[in-house]
Chain A
Amino acid sequence: MNAVLIALLVLPLLGAALTLAPVFGPEPAAADRRALRLNSVVTGAVFLLTVALAAGFDHDEPARMQATTDVSWIPALNVRLHFGVDGVSLPLIVLTALLTFLCALYSEKRLPGGDARGGTPEGHRPSAKAFVGLFLLLEVGMLATFAVLDLLLFFLAFEIVLIPMYFLIARWGSGAKAPAANRFILYTLLGSAVMLLGFLLIGSKAGTFDMQALAAAHGSGLSHTTQVIAALAIMVGLAVKAPAWPLHSWLPDAHTAAPTVGSVLLAGVLLKMGTYGLVRVLLPVVPDGTATLAPYLGAFAAVGIVYGSLACLALARPGAKGDLKRLIAYSSVGHMGFVLLGIASLTPVGVNGALFANIAHGLITGLLFFVVGALKDRYGTADLDTLAGATGAALYGRAPRIGALLAFAAVASLGLPGLAGFWGELLAMFGAFDPADGLSRPAFVTYMVLAGLGTLLTAAYLLIVVKRVCMGDPKQPAPVDGLADLRPYEAVSWTPLAALTLLAGLWPALLLGLSDPAVKHLLGGG
Chain B
Amino acid sequence: MLGAQIAALGPHSTGQHTVTSLAVANPGSLIQSVDWVAIAPPLIAAVAALAVLVTDLFLAERHRKWLGRLTAAGLALALIALLPLTGGSPRATFCVQNVAGATDNAGCSYVADHFALVFQLLVLGGALIAALLSAHTVEDEKLPGGEYWFLLLSSATGAALLPASRDLATMVIALEVASLPAFALVALRRDGRGAEAALKFFVSSVTATAVMLLGIGFVYAASGSLHLGAVAQGLEHAPGQLKPLAEAGAVLTLVGFAFKVAAVPFHFWVPDTYTGAPLPVAGYLSVVGKAAGLSGLALATTIAFRPYAHTWGLALAVLAAVTMTVGNVGALRQRFDTRYSAVRLLAWSSVGQAGYLLVPLAAAGYAPTGVDPLGATAAYALIYGVVNLGAFGVVAAVGRRAGTSVDDFRGLFARRRWTALALAFFLLCLAGLPPGVIGLFGKVVVFRAAVDAGLGWLAVVMAVNVVVALYYYLLWTARLFAPAPDTEPVGEAEAERRLPAGLTATLGLTASVAVVLSFAPQLVLQVAGGSLF
Contacts and interface: CB of A to CB of B under 8 A. Distances in A.
A74 B521 contact: yes
Given A126-B481, A185-B474, A189-B467, A200 B434 contact: no
A106 interface: no
Contact of A200 (B451, B521, B527): B451
The residue among A123, A160, A167, A200 with the most chain B CB atoms within 10 A of its own CB is: A200
A124 interface: yes
Interface in B454-474: 456, 459-460, 463-464, 466-467, 470-471, 474
Contacts of A77: 441, 444-445, 448, 521, 525, 528-529
Given A76-B525, A189-B433, A204 B451 contact: yes
Contacts of B483: 116-117, 123-124
B447 interface: yes
A200 B466 contact: no
A197 B460 contact: yes
Given A73-B522, A197-B456, A189 B470 contact: yes
A156 B438 CA distance: 11
A499 interface: no
B428 interface: yes
B448 A200 contact: yes
A295 interface: no
Interface string A345-356: 000000000000
Interface string A122-145: 011010001000000100010000
Contacts of B478: 167, 170, 178
Given A75-B522, A77-B441, A163-B428, A190 B434 contact: no
A167 B437 contact: no
Contacts of B474: 166, 182, 185
A171 B466 contact: no
B370 to A, nearest CB: 15
Interface in A190-216: 190, 193-194, 196-197, 200-201, 203-204
SS class, residues of chain B in contact with chain A:
helix
A179 to B, nearest CB: 12
Interface string B271-297: 000000000000000000000000000
A74 B428 contact: no
A186 interface: yes
A190 B464 contact: yes
Contacts of B435: 137, 160, 163
Contacts of A201: 451, 456
Given A190-B467, A203-B448, A141 B459 contact: no
Nearest to B460: A197
B526 interface: yes
A162 interface: yes
A163 B467 contact: no
Nearest to B459: A197
Size category of the binding interface on chain B:
35 or more
Contact of B444 (A126, A171, A186, A196): A196
A123 B414 CA distance: 10
A197 B484 CA distance: 40
A196 B432 CA distance: 13
B157 to A, nearest CB: 30
Contact of B522 (A76, A124, A159, A197): A76
Contacts of B526: 75-76
Interface string A69-94: 00001111100000000000000000
B522 A156 contact: no
A204 B521 contact: no
Contacts of B527: 76
A30 interface: no
B528 A196 contact: no
A159 B431 CA distance: 12
Label chain A's interface by main secondary structure: helix
Contact of B466 (A152, A193, A229): A193
Nearest to B434: A160
B143 interface: no
B470 A186 contact: yes
A484 interface: no
Contacts of B9: none
Interface in B25-51: none
A185 B470 contact: yes
A170 B477 CA distance: 12
Contacts of A503: none
B73 interface: no
B522 A189 contact: no
A464 to B, nearest CB: 38
A163 B433 contact: yes
- Centre residue among B435, B451, B466, B522 by max chain A CB count within 10 A: B451
B473 to A, nearest CB: 11
A20 interface: yes
A58 to B, nearest CB: 32
B525 A193 contact: no
A76 B529 contact: yes
Given A74-B441, A126-B481, A203-B448, A186 B459 contact: no
Interface in B398-435: 421, 428, 433-435
A197 B447 contact: yes
B53 interface: no
A189 B464 CA distance: 9
Contact of A159 (B433, B464, B467, B529): B433
A129 B470 CA distance: 25
Given A74-B525, A201-B451, A204-B452, A186 B434 contact: no
A197 B446 CA distance: 11
A163 B481 CA distance: 13
B6 interface: no
A196 B447 contact: yes
Nearest to B431: A189
A74 B522 contact: yes
Contacts of A200: 444, 447-448, 451-452, 459
B465 to A, nearest CB: 9
B440 interface: yes
A159 B444 contact: no
A170 to B, nearest CB: 6
Contacts of B466: 189, 193
A117 B485 CA distance: 11
Nearest to B468: A186
Interface string A146-178: 000000100110011011001100110000001
Nearest to A201: B451
Contacts of B471: 182, 186
B441 A193 contact: no
Nearest to A120: B483
A159 B463 contact: no
Contacts of A182: 471, 474
A197 B441 contact: no
B434 A141 contact: yes
Contacts of B525: 74, 76-77
Interface string B497-526: 000000000000000000000000110011
B481 A167 contact: yes
Given A76-B529, A170-B478, A162 B433 contact: yes
A211 to B, nearest CB: 17
B452 A190 contact: no
A180 to B, nearest CB: 13
Nearest to A124: B483
Contacts of A74: 441, 521-522, 525
B329 to A, nearest CB: 15
Contacts of B452: 200, 204
Closest 6 CB pairs of A and B: A76-B529, A193-B463, A76-B525, A124-B483, A200-B451, A160-B434
Given A74-B441, A182-B474, 6 more contacts: A20-B421, A74-B525, A75-B529, A162-B433, A186-B467, A190-B463
19 contacts: A75-B522, A76-B525, A77-B445, A116-B483, A124-B483, A126-B481, A155-B444, A160-B435, A162-B434, A163-B435, A178-B478, A185-B474, A186-B467, A186-B471, A190-B463, A193-B467, A196-B447, A197-B463, A201-B456
